[in-house]
Amino acid sequence: MKKFIEEFKTFALRGNVMDMAIGVLIGGAFSGIITSLTDNFIQPIIDVIMGRAAYTLEDVALFGSNFISAVINFIITALILFCLLKAMNKLLSVGRKEEAPAAPTTKTCPYCKSEISIDATRCPHCTSELS
């Protein structure tokens, strides 16, 4: 059972899965903006053109406030998801070990200042013996 939980944890915290989940949530929040735009701006314009309804200035103000509310909801959702993802990435990076820098493979000749192999006992450029 413990191995199953570890495998699930590895799967769920993988970058692609998290990106997809964030995308789905942002898409859901953005659909609220599109729905509000359609319900509060496009549909009333169609209703007026077709002669089905007449709107007052109060109605237009209400439509505008509903749309602004949907935009604010989207921004808040996106901000919360950003903060959660940032915190989760920070938590995941705590357990990782940083890789040690690679050992050097070259050195500088003290006489001619040319770059030579670290194993060299004689400089191939100036033929000086190296200690």
Mind listing the pLDDT tens digit for each residue in 50-61?
A: 998 889 999 999
Residue ranges of domains in the chain? 2-94, 102-131
What global pTM score does this model have? 0.62
Res. 100: pLDDT tops 80? no
> What element of type H or E holds 107?
strand 106-108
The Cα 14–Cα 80 span in angstroms is 20
Res. 22: pLDDT tops 70? yes
The Cα 21–Cα 15 span in angstroms is 10
pLDDT at residue 95, rounded to an integer: 66
The Cα 110–Cα 91 span in angstroms is 46
